[in-house]
Structure 1
């Protein structure tokens, strides 16, 4: 598959994967104008906020909370209306709202399929800060907004303008605790003025980080949620640049996860920041997805590694090498940053565990706080072959090899009739995918089947509003790299155009092929292998590409995973051993939020347990969703204990607790021998914990502290597994 270094355009003949990733980062040509908008992230009491979709139910509820908290919301936009709402003006367009209300920021509260147009309208009106919270925005819609193409009007291109900064999409928002300004849906009880800045991909992990710093007496300054999609308007490095210059921020927490290069780029930037700064601010980080399933999308649309991208362990190692204290659970941010702010050094995870009397869990990762010289070579990203990737995941569609080849044939692409007989030496790698680092589509070419070949290269191309992209500047270079001979040039050129056309027209995020010009027709380039991935949100939100998604064969997938989808639950089974074995994945997990769900699996592993599944109820889980989640988990005979880890944001702690009690009552027989450990934090946490404690239900345990809850779940699961093993 595609190694890290070919995802960056290079002029150098050869570099290590780490060096190439650093060298091929987003160029100053693409970023200079947009970088000027970084200052717009500095929100506070002065910030005048409008909402797009102001009169909608979600925006109304959010605005009421935010106004009561102190946010200076001055009005909003609802197309075609000019009236009042919540005692504030409603205007028919963003342009008119800018003229009348003079906003510094806009929160976009519209449906996913409407969000790209709303973002572009705000860019055209030059609103300084645009916060997009919607999930399931079609990838190619947002790609058209973010891609730094030269062929679009400058006012509608995010990366080539200097007026507007985008946070999101799929973002929990941005919040200044010091300035009492919230643009998003963060749980307000967790946020109080303080000194810790947070930049995060995951909403639930950032909420945990906020709650931890609050308990440690540190509070927060500014918290930026960059979002969990494949592409984002603001990245981790952007957040770091603001926080290190922010006078109110004394320490920084990073919440990252699998997918993309953002954490690696952050590590590079932190290394440089520490080298040039006499007293650098202490930084701690958590990276979710160490135990993510290769090729699966773990809840967030962007929570998976495209070919060539680093895994979570590589990201943790890079941050450690840069002098960042890497922890394994966000509840540790408070005590760790408090220790670092006091001037003490943390040299190991065991030192962090000792900071809490109720922390039996030992850290697996080593933590560093002093400047560390980076090794010349970083660990290579884990390679994922097409055979390892499952055929389907809720947030995407992967086509199996035979179905993919048939689709290519239907598109008029020349496919080899006997691919198994083509020797590897005659094949070349040719792929079209997303370069997350530059927010552009790209073509990757290698003269062999290996992307680690010294000649393998990546070439970005423009994403135009209309028509087809201009490949003329890069086509000769691609053809030269593939080195298939002059007679094959016309056929190869046609194939490249066909693949790019398929990528755009069918809204793919990955077209990975192997091609050949083997005998007897050396002038005809044919595809010998295909692994194709398509964006699920195009169908879910945009109601497009129904023909492509009709190719899904659910019979090849796990029935429990498929059955969870209609309820908005992302369920992925982990491990493949038989029930009752000593090494069984025996802990069922039920978590709200993709980042927190990944991290729960990771932290349980560090505590000596093995999660049987990843389960994300989603940010808007209800009592019925919780009950349905129990039913899905109980289909797995390996599960001997269920660990519920809920952090209340939109999901209220008391509502979840009632859902758990109802599930116990309705599933009494199934849960009779399966203990349930519940940890509820965040909004209405005290009420939720009381409901669990007062339920009087046997086998139901309530905890506030994650480490205590994890230790209890591991102990109960192991005890039940041993009992079954003894009986058998």
Structure 2
């Protein structure tokens, strides 16, 4: 039986803003990296994603600790690593050559791909060096690369046809059939087979892979799209590869909130199913159903921007396109097995091709429900609260420094207020003006348009003319048009000089009087300025600007600020009162490694079940490299919320080791005296060193329930939460 349709009303769908195509490319010879005059050239590099035994790989940052450990594993697995690069050094490492530059490595080793294993503050330069050396496939795994570094990289990629980027902030790309890994995926989870997987989230992709392996199907090619604001390779790119890949019989897509890649994939799926006689079956998941509006859910790109759809809406759009939707990745193995049986391939043959040693036993039972907790429909989406968000006074002061005067809203005017915003077009992989002739909430998004342009050239005259026309200002008096043009150019100057994510203003025309001409033809109000925190945290840029951050209690929750100091992303989910069993079912504290898995855990806990009402009290992502100390600090955060009746630790180990997490749980028990507090803990461990982690828990003698099956763990959480809410302990 396949999962039932999600009860999501069609009214919750938001029509994404129309993208106005604008000529965005630099003139010939504008930069040494401009190898092709059309953006379509980058599309031709999709073929480089088809890696396998033939793929010759180098590592940048080869001699570093992470790269060394990764290279040893990958070489032992079968990946053809030829050597690597350490800037300015020649030599040998792991018995392989070390060269001083990517260009030298290209000349001597003739690689097909490079894996970039350097810190975020060095990653952009490393990617640029690989592009200039024309390496066919570039895989960037680093998190927290500044947004404007990525925008600059894509202005290079969009004008050439030699190099393809996977990432950044991605687990990488891996061919299970071809034994080629460029990334940090947990190898024991993979088995050669015939299911292609593309995912935004690393941890959700590992869960998906494990489910497919346990079902005996195995994987052909797995592509990590990554969780950044802009991805070098998106869902449609991966789908094009899977369509023509003879090794791929079924396709899985794992999405989440943020951007429109899922909707673009849905359009591609509809067209594919129309033109193909026997289309390959496609299953999908979208994380972030319960993400609070305007919040960044761990991944840099996991926020719902203006005009973007919620997770529920994306779910419905993909479902309507023909994808079979699931609620948790543990369902994928069973679902794909059923789809393949219906579509014609010999499932037994596919199962036989997967290595038995990679399977971790039969999938015991799937997490499935026929009823859903619907999310309230909304037609308006607030701008994201990401990075540094200046208050109104700070925003007005900074705009003033760039020649933009913010005025108080006119008491009365017949002139409409327009929205003029400078943000990121994730699909075009470039900056864009997001503009609407109205700021009325009921039709701002419906009438809004994205006008993308090249980061390299900045907004051209054509870009500005398009903005003027869409905001219905092109026929305004000359001094008004001049003022709008100056506003657009000043916003762009501020955007680049201070590395902004989004700059937004409302603009209306000042009433004209021949007796008392206005000091300015424009009223500029409601400024909202958001700047990239990665530029500050990774590269220590804009120190003075980020010193303006308001960390007072009214601006940011104290627990969230405390979490941040330990590298933890913690968001307290709203709902009900402050005590267990009083006015709220938000009584399960969640502790998860990985933003995508944390979002999906919150989603899954919201689904009704026989165990009774109990849902997540929070989103908590320990990060991809959680330590025992991080886990202990996470427990402190969870216990500070009086609503929490039970703690659910849900870990899928990639870089994070399950035994380390188990040790962190026991450390928390000792430091926080959990035995005395009587708060039960449910732990589910999968992935790297899962058996060792489960053994640590089993031998501890503590009040901990350990599971490897997600559905059983969720059921136990709800049972315990219901028991505590009723005033007792269940166990």
Q: TM-score by structure 2 length?
A: 0.87
Q: Is the 8 A contact 1:221 1:249 kept in 2?
A: yes
Aligned to 2:323: 324
Separation of aligned partners in 2, 1:283 and 1:295 = 30
Q: Any stretches of 5+ residues in structure 2 without a counterpart?
A: 1-12, 23-35, 345-361
Separation of aligned partners in 2, 1:48 and 1:169 = 21
Give the deviation of 1:482 after TM superposition: 3.0
Q: Is the 8 A contact 1:561 1:571 kept in 2?
A: yes
Q: Is the 8 A contact 1:4 1:381 kept in 2?
A: no
Give the deviation of 1:456 after TM superposition: 4.1
Give secondary structure in 2 for the equivalent of 1:306. coil
Separation of aligned partners in 2, 1:269 and 1:194 = 24
Change (3 A) 1:424 1:226: farther
Change (3 A) 1:5 1:214: closer
- 1:107 is aligned to 2:115: yes
Change (3 A) 1:344 1:54: closer
Alignment of 1:434-473 (within 5 A): 434-450=424-440, 452=444, 456-464=448-456, 469-473=458-462
- 1:478 is aligned to 2:467: yes
Give the deviation of 1:202 after TM superposition: 0.4
Alignment of 1:339-378 (within 5 A): 339-343=338-342, 358-359=365-366, 361-364=368-371
Alignment of 1:68-467 (within 5 A): 68-147=76-155, 157-343=156-342, 358-359=365-366, 361-364=368-371, 382-385=379-382, 393=386, 396-416=387-407, 418-419=408-409, 421=411, 423=413, 425-450=415-440, 452=444, 456-464=448-456
Give the deviation of 1:292 after TM superposition: 0.6
- 1:554 is aligned to 2:551: yes
Give secondary structure in 1 for the equivalent of 2:286. strand
Change (3 A) 1:83 1:6: same
Q: Is the 8 A contact 1:128 1:164 kept in 2?
A: yes
Aligned to 2:635: 630
Aligned to 2:537: 540
Aligned to 1:650: 655
Q: Is the 8 A contact 2:438 2:444 kept in 1?
A: no
Q: Is the 8 A contact 1:174 1:182 kept in 2?
A: yes
Aligned to 1:351: none
Give the deviation of 1:229 after TM superposition: 0.3
Deviations 1:537-567 (A, max 9, x none): 0101121122221221111211000001111
Aligned to 2:569: 570
Deviations 1:472-505 (A, max 9, x none): 2222332343345214122222111111111111
Separation of aligned partners in 1, 2:574 and 2:556 = 15
User: More deviation in 478-487 or 204-213?
Assistant: 478-487
Aligned to 2:708: 704
Separation of aligned partners in 2, 1:510 and 1:624 = 35
Q: Is the 8 A contact 1:286 1:328 kept in 2?
A: yes
Aligned to 1:24: none
Give the deviation of 1:457 after TM superposition: 3.1
Give secondary structure in 2 for the equivalent of 1:103. coil
Separation of aligned partners in 2, 1:724 and 1:506 = 55
Q: Is the 8 A contact 2:56 2:110 kept in 1?
A: yes
Give secondary structure in 2 for the equivalent of 1:606. coil
Give secondary structure in 1 for the equivalent of 2:54. coil
Separation of aligned partners in 1, 2:586 and 2:414 = 38
Give the deviation of 1:361 after TM superposition: 4.4
Aligned to 2:589: 588
Separation of aligned partners in 2, 1:422 and 1:67 = 71
Aligned equivalent of 1:8, options 19, 25, 41: 19
- 1:53 is aligned to 2:65: no
Separation of aligned partners in 1, 2:689 and 2:630 = 18
Q: Is the 8 A contact 1:425 1:448 kept in 2?
A: no
Aligned to 1:684: 689
Deviations 1:293-325 (A, max 9, x none): 111110000011111111111111111001111
Separation of aligned partners in 2, 1:528 and 1:228 = 33
Separation of aligned partners in 1, 2:86 and 2:39 = 32
Separation of aligned partners in 2, 1:424 and 1:136 = 45
Change (3 A) 1:454 1:198: closer
User: More deviation in 594-603 or 483-492?
Assistant: 483-492
Aligned equivalent of 2:483, options 482, 488, 491: 491
Q: Is the 8 A contact 1:59 1:109 kept in 2?
A: yes
Give the deviation of 1:444 after TM superposition: 2.5
Give the deviation of 1:175 after TM superposition: 0.4
Separation of aligned partners in 2, 1:717 and 1:34 = 52
Give secondary structure in 2 for the equivalent of 1:488. helix
Separation of aligned partners in 2, 1:29 and 1:91 = 32
Aligned to 1:349: none
Q: Any stretches of 5+ residues in structure 1 without a counterpart?
A: 12-27, 148-156, 346-354, 367-378
Change (3 A) 1:193 1:430: same
Change (3 A) 1:144 1:453: closer
Give secondary structure in 2 for the equivalent of 1:657. helix
Deviations 1:229-255 (A, max 9, x none): 000110011111111211111111111
Q: Is the 8 A contact 1:586 1:638 kept in 2?
A: yes
- 1:665 is aligned to 2:670: yes
Give secondary structure in 2 for the equivalent of 1:586. strand
Aligned to 1:348: none
Q: Is the 8 A contact 2:327 2:368 kept in 1?
A: no
User: More deviation in 474-483 or 598-607?
Assistant: 474-483
Separation of aligned partners in 2, 1:657 and 1:496 = 53
Give the deviation of 1:384 after TM superposition: 2.2
Give secondary structure in 1 for the equivalent of 2:619. strand
Separation of aligned partners in 2, 1:56 and 1:421 = 62
Aligned to 1:23: none
Deviations 1:656-695 (A, max 9, x none): 1111112112211576321100000011111111211221
Give the deviation of 1:342 after TM superposition: 1.2
Give the deviation of 1:279 after TM superposition: 1.2
Deviations 1:114-147 (A, max 9, x none): 1111111111111111000010000001101113
Change (3 A) 1:79 1:312: same
Separation of aligned partners in 2, 1:29 and 1:310 = 33
Give secondary structure in 2 for the equivalent of 1:631. helix
